[in-house]
Chains A and B, each alone.
Chain A
Amino acid sequence: MSDVLNLVLFSGTADKLHAAATLAAGAAAMERPVNVLVQYWALDAFRSSRIESDLGLSFDATVEGTKRPVKGTKSIAWLEAFRMAKELGEMTIYACTGSMDTLGIDFASLDPIVDAEAGVATFLMAAGDGQIVFI
Chain B
Amino acid sequence: MATTAELETLTADKIVDARGTACPGPLLEAKKGMTTVPLGSTIEIWSTDPGTKNDISAWSAKVGHDFLGVLPAEGYDRVFVIRRK
Binding site for B on A (CB under 8 A): 22, 25-26, 29-31, 73-76, 81, 84, 87-88
Q: Are B22 and A74 in contact (CB under 8 A)?
A: yes
Residue B63, interface by CB 8 Å: yes
Q: Which residues of B contact A76 (CB under 8 A)?
A: 21-22, 25, 28
| 5 A-B contacts (beta carbon < 8 Å) | A25-B24, A26-B23, A29-B27, A30-B63, A31-B63
Interface size class of B (residues with CB under 8 A): 10 to 19
Determine the distance from Cα of A26 to Cα of B51 in the docked complex, in whole angstroms. Answer: 13
Q: Which residues of B contact A74 (CB under 8 A)?
A: 20-22, 25, 49
Q: Are B22 and A88 in contact (CB under 8 A)?
A: no
Interchain nearest-CB distance for B45 vs A (Å)? 12
Interface of A is mostly: helix
Q: Mark B21-41, 1 if CB is under 8 A from A, else 0.
A: 111110110111000000000
Binding site for A on B (CB under 8 A): 20-25, 27-28, 30-32, 49, 55, 58-59, 62-63
When A26-B27, A81-B24 are in contact, do A88 and B32 touch as well, CB less than 8 Å?
yes
Q: Which residues of B contact A31 (CB under 8 A)?
A: 62-63
Select the residue from A29, A30, A74 with max chain B CB neighbours within 10 A.
A29
Q: Are B32 and A73 in contact (CB under 8 A)?
A: no
Q: Are A26 and B24 in contact (CB under 8 A)?
A: yes
Determine the distance from Cα of A26 to Cα of B28 in the docked complex, in whole angstroms. Answer: 7
Given contacts A22-B23, A30-B62, A75-B21, 14 further A-B contacts (CB under 8 A): A22-B24, A25-B28, A26-B23, A29-B24, A29-B27, A29-B31, A29-B59, A74-B22, A74-B25, A76-B21, A76-B25, A87-B32, A88-B28, A88-B31
Q: Which 10 A-B pairs have the closest CB atoms?
A: A74-B22, A29-B31, A26-B24, A75-B22, A84-B28, A30-B62, A25-B24, A88-B31, A29-B27, A76-B25
